[in-house]
A and B are shown apart, each in its own frame.
Chain A
Amino acid sequence: MATVTVPKRSALAEALAGARHAADTGHGVLSWIATVDHKRIGMLYGISAFLLFLVGGLEALLIRTQLIVPESGVLTSDQYNRLFTMHGVTMVFMVVMPLSAAFFNLLVPLMIGARDVAFPRLNAFSYWSFLGGAIFLNASFFTRDIFSGELGAPDAGWFGYAPLSLPDFTPGHGMDFYALGLQIMGLSSLAGGLNFAVTILNMRAPGMTLFRMPVFVWMTLVTSFLIIFAMPVIAVALFELTFDRLFNANFFNTEAGGNPILWQHMFWLFGHPEVYILILPAFGIISEILPTFSRKPLFGYPFVVFSGIAIGFMSWGVWVHHMYTTGLGTIANSAFGISTILIGVPTGIKIFNWMGTMFGGVIRLRVPMMFAIGAVATFTIGGLSGITHSMVPSDYQQQDSYYVVAHFHYVLFGGAIFALFGGIFYWAPKFTARMFNETLGHVQFWLMMIGFNLTFFPMHISGLLGMPRRIYTYSDGMGWDLWNLMSSIGAFTIAASILVFIANYVYTFVMKRGREAGDDPWDARTLEWSLPSPVPHYNFAEIPQVHSLDDFWHRKYREDAEGNVLPVVAGGAVEVAHGGDGGGHEEAGHGIHLPSPSYFPLIAALGLPVMATGLIYDYAIVPVGAALLVVGLYGWALEPATEED
């Protein structure tokens, strides 16, 4: 339904249209570069994020190697500082956020019964600008002489406190890359957040009311809201930092009367909602896996949903808990202390409902379930140490100690990464038609679980023994040796578990030894399992009519008044779900107009890192980037979303 065809096409436009056609075949590299298919974009997100996880993990391993014994000289303090900064930034912005985005992309349209997201090309733009930003930021490593051990990466910590982040104290370009790189990735997230908010509100299949949506979709919606309102704040903070660094502005310049507390407010005003942006998708994944493998519906669905909304809401009122020791005063600390403590209530509701879901079920301890259970358990520990943080007087001792490091790895690794791995094992069959090897999966889980606790549990103790974070070395006699040794051994155990995962991947997909999955290998509950595996590019041959929560389950099973389950006559419902029988797929696929591939999102996204590079090195490059951006945007706006054939 293109509105207008631009009358005459230039040669360039012809060439582009040609390339677009080539991309439309569905094969080859071009078709991936120009793709606007949410499933492919999701996979691109997932693969990129996993590779960046290896990068961030490698950085962590270097950190742990340095700290394995007191006074070790593996890294210089300069290298160490850049590594932990990049480790934090990578894991938060380039691993957990994009991995969550991968799941949004892969699942949301399928779960709500849509053929794509509301703005497929904006979606592609999100991905490419994320990738551009991530490569740009990581490229900073190479801006000094890396082969003689000089890293060029940012070095003011992941929250880049001013005035340390100003050029007087962190000379070089590292923090410029930080400010601009995060800016680009923030824009990418904002675009994604807007896209998914609209998609979820607007693109639901008939009958898919809000309260029939899977919890994962709900959590995506809440996360999108958080992104939409949090990203502009960090964008402004980063702009202010950029202006201070590149154009001598005074936002944080104390010589001119600037107030460093402003940065802290802005960062944490974004930063705390951000940590829930990191965890809520994981909560969503857990809420999908637990019911499937307990073979029961989610206990207290509306309460799980509302507690998620409550968490999103409350996350705006607690940011000062990162600033207890800055001397904001008794009133601020008391008010934010109480609000922080209370955030345990909605989180607890989720935990208890998950336990309620498992209670009395028929629990299949398959790999995804193991990861989900593991995530609940470890997250609980992290959440509870969060409560000890929120006690203001007690936090005076813990702030900026390893106790904090323990807390946030328990929630981030123990909560988010575990759940995300669970999600990978759970949904991979849907998109690849193959099952990961179960044994290797269990080996990975146990290695990871043991390694994780071995790494991060001792950090509680070293923290309480007075070990500050972000120190590149410590002297012996502080009583920290044993705990650090344990942490380091644990870190390498985690690395081993990741290698097992890579091996599993190779075994399953490269050697193609993974078992064929079939359409519904887990006897699952939500709509995506009603589709063939792998999911056809048009998703639903026929947009489904939704009648209830867990619609797909109810096509397979009937439930009597007492809640006893009676199977529906075998097969019937499932076939209908495919929109007809076998032969129907191909034909059905033909009549459907899907958005055509487009190169313009990529071109526009490419403009951003180019502009950023120009800002740092040579203003002459800026117009080049700007031109790319403008060309990309205009091409995008003028090109019909669907090429008529």
Chain B
Amino acid sequence: MPRGRNVGYSLTAWWGVDLHAAAISSLANVTQTLRVLRRNRARLPLLLVLLALLALVLSGCTTDTPQNTFDTKGEVADAQAKSFLIAMWPAIVIMIGVLGGIVLIALRWRERDPNQPPPKQVHGNTRLEIAWTIAPAVLLLAIGVPMVAQIADLGREPADDAYIINVVGQRYSWLFEYPEEIDSEGKPIQTVNEAHIPVGREVSFQLRSVDVIHSFWVPKLGGKRDVFPCNLVTPEPEAPPTPHGERPPCDGGQMNILWLKADEPGSFSGQCAEYCGLEHARMTMTIHADAQADFDAWVKEKLAGSSGGGN
């Protein structure tokens, strides 16, 4: 019984393919493919559809919508949008390369005639393999290194003069507490689902939940941070405004701290981003960033008014 050549595993065999020939022939093939495509006007609509889609996408990104992560209004959100783009542009280039490559190859080497004999049997090419191992690795590390720097940047503790706001997440509302603004009864002022923050100053949100996990997210100011259950070991009233960076101990869970900074005044909407039950969809909030004077005025008004109560 006749048998084919044994092409079992042998590393040296993979070096056997002549790289030069392969390279030259592939170059020739690509040019030929392009020529085929140019001749074939039928593909034009496809291209147009793709372009239209791209236009749609781009228009989507510039629409002024309340939670647009690209319509950034603070340095944290800025940095994060930048981080996305650092990954997105290479990704788009690779996507076009790979998808385009697949389509071109499939069209160029399509079977023309059912009796076409099998093509030349190419088993591989080690140099190519090494190339397409190293190149992506280098590219990925190139975006990975700035990423680490950014993580450290965003992960640093809030500045010393950061304005502290305690955030208590509960199904399905947000309670904001201003430990730096104590009213006549010795209680910090509180608001529900709406918070005021000063513009241009870092705000340290100290996040904890009294039930399940929520996630604090105000897209225009910055990415989210999860709000974990945390029963403060020291009961609340006595808990002094926490020194920056040091999380007060809690039983179970932990308190997370997220610092954000608004660059311009405005009202920014946010929403709970961790599924927390029936009304997760409606656990929304608005953060009003006020110029310092307006903010002070708001605080004064709150302190003068009856302690507690909404906004």
Contacts and interface: CB of A to CB of B under 8 A. Distances in A.
Q: When A and B assemble into the complex, do they touch directly, with CB atoms less than 8 Å apart?
A: yes
Contacts of A466: 65-69, 217, 219, 271
A326 B226 contact: yes
Most buried by B among A78, A303, A373, A385: A303
Contacts of A465: 60, 63, 65, 67-69
Contacts of A584: none
B140 interface: yes
A397 to B, nearest CB: 4
Contacts of B105: 355, 358-359, 363
Nearest to A258: B252
Interface in B42-83: 53, 57, 60-61, 63-70, 77, 79-81, 83
B123 A299 contact: yes
A344 to B, nearest CB: 6
A467 B77 CA distance: 16
A260 interface: yes
Interface in B116-134: 116-125, 128-129, 132-133
A565 interface: yes
Given A360-B29, A397-B80, A380 B121 contact: no
Contacts of A338: 144, 147-148
A468 interface: yes
A391 B3 contact: no
B68 A464 contact: yes
Given A477-B66, A562-B120, A388 B152 contact: no
Contacts of A480: 65
Interface in A394-440: 394-401
B305 interface: no
A381 interface: yes
Contacts of A565: 117-121
A582 interface: no
Interface string B226-237: 101111000000
B69 A464 contact: yes
A479 B66 contact: yes
B287 interface: no
A352 B29 CA distance: 17
Nearest to B91: A384
A548 B7 contact: yes
Interface string B142-155: 01100110111011
B2 A254 contact: no
Most buried by B among A164, A338, A342: A164
A380 B95 contact: yes
B121 A576 contact: no
Interface string A243-260: 000000000011111111
Interface stretch (B208-216, B238-246, B288-296): B208-216
Interface string B1-20: 11111111101001000000
A568 interface: yes
A341 B140 contact: yes
A301 interface: yes
A330 B60 CA distance: 32
Contacts of A373: 102, 106
A163 B4 contact: no
A399 B83 contact: no
A460 B125 CA distance: 37
Nearest to A556: B4
A357 B286 CA distance: 54
Given A338-B148, A466-B65, A161 B213 contact: yes
Interface stretch (A290-298, A588-596, A622-630): A290-298
B223 A396 contact: yes
A509 to B, nearest CB: 26
B252 A256 contact: yes
Interface stretch (B159-167, B179-187, B194-202, B276-284): B276-284
B80 A356 contact: no
Nearest to B250: A254
Contacts of B171: 169
Contacts of A554: 3-5, 7
Contact of A559 (B9, B121, B147, B254): B121
A47 interface: no
A442 interface: no
Contact of A358 (B102, B150, B222): B102
B80 A295 contact: no
B63 A479 contact: yes
Interface string B88-100: 1001101100110
B98 A355 contact: yes
A333 to B, nearest CB: 5
B70 A464 contact: yes
Is chain B's interface secondary structure helix, strand, loop, or mixed overall?
Answer: mixed
Nearest to A343: B140
A254 B121 contact: no
A360 B122 contact: yes
Contacts of B63: 465, 479
A564 interface: yes
A296 B125 CA distance: 14
A327 B226 contact: yes
B196 to A, nearest CB: 21
A563 B121 contact: yes
A58 interface: no
A158 to B, nearest CB: 10
Contacts of A396: 80, 154, 222-225
Given A169-B212, A303-B129, A400-B215, A555 B4 contact: yes
Contacts of A92: none
B189 interface: no
Contacts of B224: 325, 396-397, 399-400
A362 interface: yes
A553 B4 contact: yes
A254 B133 CA distance: 46
B168 interface: no
Contacts of A559: 4-5, 7, 121
A272 to B, nearest CB: 18
Nearest to B68: A465
Interface string A371-397: 001001100110011011011111111
Interface string A285-315: 0000000001111011111000000000000
A378 to B, nearest CB: 9
B119 A549 contact: no
Interface string A543-554: 000011110011
Given A254-B229, A257-B251, A474-B281, A344 B2 contact: no
A301 to B, nearest CB: 7
Nearest to A376: B102
A157 interface: yes
A515 interface: no
B229 A362 contact: no
Given A344-B136, A565-B118, A393 B252 contact: no
A358 B106 CA distance: 7
Given A303-B124, A376-B102, A400-B215, A573 B83 contact: no
B271 A468 contact: yes
Contacts of B251: 254-255, 257
Given A77-B278, A81-B275, A564-B120, 20 more contacts: A169-B277, A254-B230, A254-B253, A258-B252, A259-B252, A294-B119, A301-B123, A325-B223, A345-B133, A348-B133, A362-B119, A373-B102, A380-B98, A391-B86, A391-B143, A392-B147, A394-B80, A398-B84, A466-B68, A474-B281
7 contacts: A257-B252, A299-B125, A330-B151, A337-B148, A392-B83, A468-B271, A555-B3
The 6 A-B pairs at the shortest CB distance, nearest first, are namely A396-B223, A466-B67, A554-B4, A479-B65, A254-B252, A211-B9
Interface of B: 1-9, 11, 14, 25-26, 29, 53, 57, 60-61, 63-70, 77, 79-81, 83-84, 86-88, 91-92, 94-95, 98-99, 101-103, 105-106, 109-111, 116-125, 128-129, 132-133, 136-137, 140-141, 143-144, 147-148, 150-152, 154-155, 171, 211-213, 215, 217, 219, 222-226, 228-231, 251-254, 256-257, 271-281
